[in-house]
Structure 1
Amino acid sequence: MVVVSGSAGRTATLFSRRDRAVIAAAAIAVLLVELDWFALNLMLPVIARDFGTPATNLQWLVSGYMLTLGALMIVAGRAADLYGRRRVLVIGLTGFAAMSVVCSAARNAAWLTAGRVVQGTAAALVLPIAVAVVTAHFRDGRQGRAVGTVLAFSAIGTALGPFVGGTFAELVSWRAVFLLNVPFCALAALLALRYVTESRDEGAVRGMDLPGAVTLAGGLTAVMLAVDQGSDWGWGSAATVACFAAGAAMLGLFAVVERRTTEPLIELSLLRNRPFVTVTAAGTVSNIVYCLVAVLAALYLEQARGLSPLESGVVFLALSAGVGAASYWSGHLARRWRAEVLMAVGLLLSGVALAALTWARPLPLYAAVFAVVGAGVGLGWALTNAATQSYVSAGRLAAASGLVLTSLVLWGAAAVTVAATVLEEVSGSAGAAASDGSAIDGVLRVVAVLSVAGAGVLVPLVRSGARTPAGEAAATPDGGGAARGTRSRNLAGGGAGRGTTGRRTG
């Protein structure tokens, strides 16, 4: 039990039994979503062997999940505002559990991919709404501590995901990782139904930008499909050209929809704010680097170097440690230095370390450099939201946060697809790509250059010397998870779709 002591020595309970149950429901929800995603990367080679398909052909298990998650997260927040946060959270948890069972029973790659895409939709109903439930429940000074606790569990899921995935893949079955979600979902849903009081935004404008979400997801899917299948279909074939054309048309339609709707998925006018766009681009690059390192390093360790899933999971703890340490210290560092400077340092550090990683052969050295890569990446994206929100007015913070989150997730999904295609082209064969260490190293070196370029994008802002309030925004009571905390609260805090912002936490 957490307690606080008054000046007269009196001790009072900070959180009641109901309070702790609400926090537990939200913490379990975000833990299972984060753990599930990060566990998958180390299972890809094992799944590929079971299904008799190249591991690079399974990239849709990652990118498809991220695609629906990114496209629907803001829409899910609006649904929670209108129809109730507890209701949407329980529906999301139920759907996540159901699709976990579907994925565990998959008999081929198409089945599993379809399950993951739908599971991403359920995750969009869980990830932001879990934090919304907590911020709606706590309306006093305890809110920061409560949200920080929930986000700490999110970080635990991120850190342990690869190790859990590797351990289960080797000692039990990759299918068991999906089934592991079911009891967690059930527990979180039961706690929510028993202890969470229903809440909604009574003043919210009715209506959700479903057309925007559909056109955005459809357009990106068509383009990503063309990139993924272009080498097999032929880059100049009718099918490839048709996919590219359909994707471009749908993305164009998305822009039209966003200009006309009263509650847009993305406020396009923010794209005219050059400093905001610059920082968002740099943060997106950092997240792209993280996604690609997580996927490509898993293939390299298991298929190129021949490590077991469990051994690879142990090595991945180094990456998780680096990311976790950077996320924790980012809030403290941002009190002394501008967030843009810290982001640039993180991107530069991750780029240099990633290049060094491609030449690191002894496993202890590889793990040590892997941790440095994690520290750079973690510092790069942890402060993205703090930095971007320094360049927008108070009335547009939620819209800015939504655009940042959408950019991070959707560009990460697209990058995984592009990297898998490039790896197959460089290797010369889809079947050999995942075990071609030199090809993987080559792609990672390109990613390293991209990371350094991301740091370069921030140089004009850093040289401008304009002091921003990002340091204050990033200062947190527990020092960690700077970006993720505010993103969740802006999307889901006082109103999940266009919510209020609060003190930075987590």
Structure 2
Amino acid sequence: MPATPVATPATPAPAPPRAKGAAGCRANPWLTLLAVAFGLFMVQLDGAIVAIANPEIGRALDASTADLQWVTNAYLLALAASLILGGKLGDRFGRRTYYMVGIAGFTLASVAIGLAGSIEGVVLFRAVQGFFGGLLMPNTLGLLRAVFPPRRFGMAVGIWAMVSAVSTALGPIVGGLLVEHVSWESVFFINAPIGLLALLVGAAVLPQSKSPAGARRFDVPGVVLLALGLLSAVFGVVKGETWGWTSGGTLGALAAGVLLLVLFGWYETRIAHPLLPMRLFRNRSLTVGTVVTALNFFVLLGAIFFVMLYLQNVRGFSPVEAGVRTLPLSLASLVASPLGAALTGRFGPRLTMPLGMLLQAAAAFAMLTWDTSSSYATMWPPFVALGLGVGMVLAASSDAIVGQAPVEDSGVAGGLQATALQIGGALGTSVLVSLISGRVGSVLGRELTGAGVPPALAERLTEAKDAVAMGVAPVSGDMPAALRAAVVEGSGQAFMSGLHVAAVVTGVLCVLGAVVAAAGLAPRTAAARD
């Protein structure tokens, strides 16, 4: 859950006026990049770290599985509903202002989560945390767009993408260390020093920038329609896995979300000063970039989720050991983001975006070779390919979305990209878990019987398919050793069958994404490169 020179169809846009720093002098673009990196790192790390802490939160606060789902979903819903609003507020009233408000609110909410003492308090403050993250995230790109000249914007967003990808990939490692050696509360308390440092650096170096259009009537109906539409759609996505994708609740929430978003789009074309100018989507590169951005995080967060289930529950690694084994993904992201930005600056996103999606497809298809006892030699190449692909697509999509938007709409464009990231990540986790669960339910009895479990017992154990879909074998301490081994073997094989289905679907979607990007993005012209 997020670049290059500005490319326009005909002539290159003039460089934006340089924003002024906090003291009134010209802003330093690289110090601006350093400042926003702190806030970006905090939000992205938090998004990836909490899943590791959920089991311990459940034990400490006596929370049910449904309660723990809301620890994630409350944050996700509030974040998705506020991202475009945060970008619009920054464009109109000051990107520095809303970035700093977002940092302060996110930090205070993080501390409140650790002090809450109840699952209800954790869920409430997670929603508050998500809202302030929505104010913060889009204005990171908006600030960069305002201070960097077009010829250097790509490299800046490449570094932005590197920070985003690496912090997301480091989440399981940091979370595992904190949960194992400190406490689950420390997963949230760690945001306090990062947030304080971000506030101090931001106050010292960040410029104030906003749209030069002047005072306009704020689009309150648009805010309400967009927030309700996104809330309903994302709620349907995150509950689809537990309610069932064909249930009335899921279909009703999704249908309501789509209807509200269509109504929002219609309304935005009828007013003079819309929250999200629909004219942005006339740019084909921006539209394609938004779609591929969602697919990019569908793959990243979905893959990280089932890979962590495999490493921890099937292979028996601790959270820290599992996180260390995914380090190649982090390191590859570190390399890929600036490399993707440089390639995008030279050739445009039409090269780097399809290339990144094909690398992710290769990673997904390589996971088809995994089994319950695979050596690490079969694991790290897919991690490298996935990290390279995600980093390259993230850099290219920033060019295709934020780089293609007018400077005065850069905060809104940043919010659009961040919204696509979050919705894609929510879909990836929910859809792929559903695929694994469905496959496990259909093959579990056969796999248990094939491993030597008596048919009558195998039939009873199929009731534990939800646990097996998470990689957990339904064994008990009073089982004979031979039977226990058979249940573990059969459950592991059923989970791997589900993982392979998820990998195939992921790989096919990546190939389709590469085709869409290659066909839909315009080639970089010589004028745009210059």
Do the two structures share a fold, i.e. TM-score over 0.5? yes
Q: Is the 8 A contact 1:54 1:431 kept in 2?
A: no
1:117 to 127, 140, 160: 127
1:344 match: 354
1:368 aligns with 2:381: yes
Give 5+ residue unaligned stretches, structure 1: 1-15, 476-506
1:417 match: 430
Q: How far 1:239 moved relative to its partner?
A: 4.3
1:447 match: 506
- The alpha-carbon distance between structure 1 residues 390 and 247, as it changes in their structure 2 partners (threshold 3 A), is closer
2:171 match: 161
1:502 match: none
Q: Which shows bigger deviation, 231-240 or 95-104?
A: 231-240
The alignment partner of 1:325 has SS state of helix
2:392 to 363, 379, 402: 379
* AA aligned opposite 1:95: G
Distance 2:91 2:408 in 1: 18
Distance 2:59 2:396 in 1: 39
2:322 match: 312
- The alpha-carbon distance between structure 1 residues 90 and 431, as it changes in their structure 2 partners (threshold 3 A), is same
1:468 aligns with 2:468: no
Give CA deviations for 1:374-429 in whole Å, capped at 9, x if unaligned: 11222233212334678888998876665444333333333333333444444344
- The alpha-carbon distance between structure 1 residues 244 and 287, as it changes in their structure 2 partners (threshold 3 A), is closer
Taking structure 1 as the reference length, the TM-score comes to: 0.74
Q: Is the 8 A contact 2:92 2:211 kept in 1?
A: yes
Taking structure 2 as the reference length, the TM-score comes to: 0.71
Distance 2:246 2:54 in 1: 30
Give CA deviations for 1:42-76 in whole Å, capped at 9, x if unaligned: 44455456567787985555555344334423322
Q: How far 1:289 moved relative to its partner?
A: 0.9
Q: Is the 8 A contact 1:284 1:381 kept in 2?
A: no
* AA aligned opposite 2:83: M
Q: Is the 8 A contact 1:280 1:384 kept in 2?
A: yes
Distance 1:467 1:246 in 2: 38
Q: How far 1:266 moved relative to its partner?
A: 3.2
1:95 to 78, 90, 105: 105
Structure 1 or 2, whichever has the larger Rg, is: 2
Give CA deviations for 1:102-124 in whole Å, capped at 9, x if unaligned: 33245566543443332121112
1:492 match: none
* AA aligned opposite 1:449: V
- The alpha-carbon distance between structure 1 residues 184 and 342, as it changes in their structure 2 partners (threshold 3 A), is closer
Q: How far 1:213 moved relative to its partner?
A: 4.0
Q: Is the 8 A contact 1:159 1:324 kept in 2?
A: no
Q: How far 1:354 moved relative to its partner?
A: 1.4
Q: Is the 8 A contact 1:267 1:403 kept in 2?
A: no
Give CA deviations for 1:142-170 in whole Å, capped at 9, x if unaligned: 99998887776556534533321222122
Give CA deviations for 1:400-459 in whole Å, capped at 9, x if unaligned: 665444333333333333333444444344444222632234223311221122123234
Q: How far 1:192 moved relative to its partner?
A: 3.9
1:457 match: 516
Alignment of 1:274-293 (within 5 A): 274=284, 276-293=286-303
1:257 match: 267
Distance 1:393 1:430 in 2: 48
Q: How far 1:310 moved relative to its partner?
A: 0.7
Q: How far 1:309 moved relative to its partner?
A: 0.9
* AA aligned opposite 1:292: G
Q: Is the 8 A contact 2:162 2:333 kept in 1?
A: no
1:408 match: 421
Q: Is the 8 A contact 1:56 1:430 kept in 2?
A: no
> Percent same amino acid at aligned positions?
31
Distance 2:352 2:152 in 1: 29
1:33 aligns with 2:33: no
Alignment root-mean-square deviation, CA: 4.1
Q: How far 1:235 moved relative to its partner?
A: 6.5
Distance 1:171 1:300 in 2: 23
2:470 match: 434
2:16 match: none
The count of corresponding residues between Structure 1 and Structure 2 is 455
Distance 2:361 2:158 in 1: 30
Q: Is the 8 A contact 1:79 1:208 kept in 2?
A: no
Q: How far 1:179 moved relative to its partner?
A: 0.3
Q: Which shows bigger deviation, 279-288 or 138-147?
A: 138-147
